[in-house]
C-alpha cells in the first residue's frame, strides 16, 4: 500500500501538478465550469490570491513526492460581512480517484478552517457529481440549495448545488 503524506502546497513545488489536475478536470468533467485549459502563468495569480488571503493549499503526496490530490478554500464573496465564510474545492488526480484522498483532503481543510476561525465552509458542486455530493454529506455538510441551469458545458445546462458545513468557530466573532 502506498503511503500518503499531507503537505502544504507551494507554487514552486506544486504549481505544475495542480495545473495538470485542474486542466484534466476542465476538459473531461463539469467539476470546473471553465471551457479551456488554463495557461501555466495562471498559477502565479492563483497562489498569490491564496497567500494574500491566508488560505491554505493542502495536498497529499506519495512516497516519491507526486501530488495525488489537493484542496483549498478562498473568499466566498468579496464583502466584509462574509469574512467568516469560505468556498472550498478539492481535486484528485484521475489515476488516484476512489482511494479516499478526497475525504482526507476535506478533513484537512475542515481542520485548517477551524484553526483559522472560519465559521462556514461552502462547496459549489455540479449537481450531477454524485460522488462529491455524497462525500460532503458524509462529512456533515448540508445541501442548502441548488441553482438550476446556471452553467452550460458539453452541450447541456448544468445545475449548481450548494453544500454548507457550519463550524463552532470563531469563538468571539466581531463586526468590522
Percent of the chain with pLDDT over 70: 99
What predicted TM-score, i.e. pTM, was given to this entire model? Answer: 0.94
What is the per-residue pLDDT for 2? 62
Contact between 50 and 72 (Cβ < 8 Å): yes
Domain boundaries, the chain: 5-166
Percent of the chain with pLDDT over 90: 97
Task: Give Cα 96 distance to the centre of its chain.
Answer: 16
Is residue 116's pLDDT more than 60? yes
What is the per-residue pLDDT for 3? 82
Tell me: the pLDDT tens digits for 36-82?
A: 999 999 999 999 999 999 999 999 999 999 999 999 999 999 999 99
d(C-alpha 67, C-alpha 58), whole Å: 10
What is the per-residue pLDDT for 74? 97
Give the right CATH number for 5-166 from 3.40.50.1820, 3.40.630.30, 3.20.170.30, 3.40.50.2300. Answer: 3.40.630.30
Helices assigned H by DSSP within the chain: 11-28, 42-53, 101-115, 130-138
Amino acid at each position: 500500500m502506498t503511503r500518503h503524506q499531507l503537505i502544504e502546497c507551494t507554487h514552486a513545488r506544486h504549481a505544475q501538478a495542480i495545473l495538470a489536475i485542474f486542466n484534466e478536470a476542465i476538459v473531461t468533467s463539469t467539476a470546473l465550469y471553465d471551457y479551456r485549459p488554463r495557461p501555466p502563468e495562471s498559477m502565479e495569480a492563483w497562489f498569490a490570491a491564496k497567500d494574500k488571503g491566508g488560505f491554505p493549499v493542502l495536498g497529499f503526496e506519495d512516497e516519491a513526492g507526486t501530488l495525488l490530490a489537493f484542496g483549498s478554500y478562498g473568499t466566498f464573496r468579496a464583502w466584509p460581512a462574509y469574512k467568516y465564510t469560505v468556498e472550498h474545492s478539492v481535486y484528485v488526480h484521475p489515476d488516484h480517484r476512489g482511494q479516499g484522498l478526497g475525504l482526507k483532503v476535506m478533513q484537512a481543510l475542515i481542520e485548517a478552517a477551524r484553526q483559522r476561525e472560519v465559521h462556514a465552509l461552502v462547496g459549489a458542486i455540479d449537481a450531477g457529481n454524485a460522488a462529491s455530493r455524497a462525500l460532503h454529506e458524509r462529512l456533515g455538510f448540508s445541501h442548502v440549495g441548488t441553482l438550476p441551469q446556471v452553467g452550460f458545458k458539453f452541450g447541456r445546462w448544468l445545475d449548481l448545488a450548494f453544500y454548507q458545513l457550519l463550524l463552532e468557530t470563531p469563538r468571539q466573532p466581531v463586526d468590522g
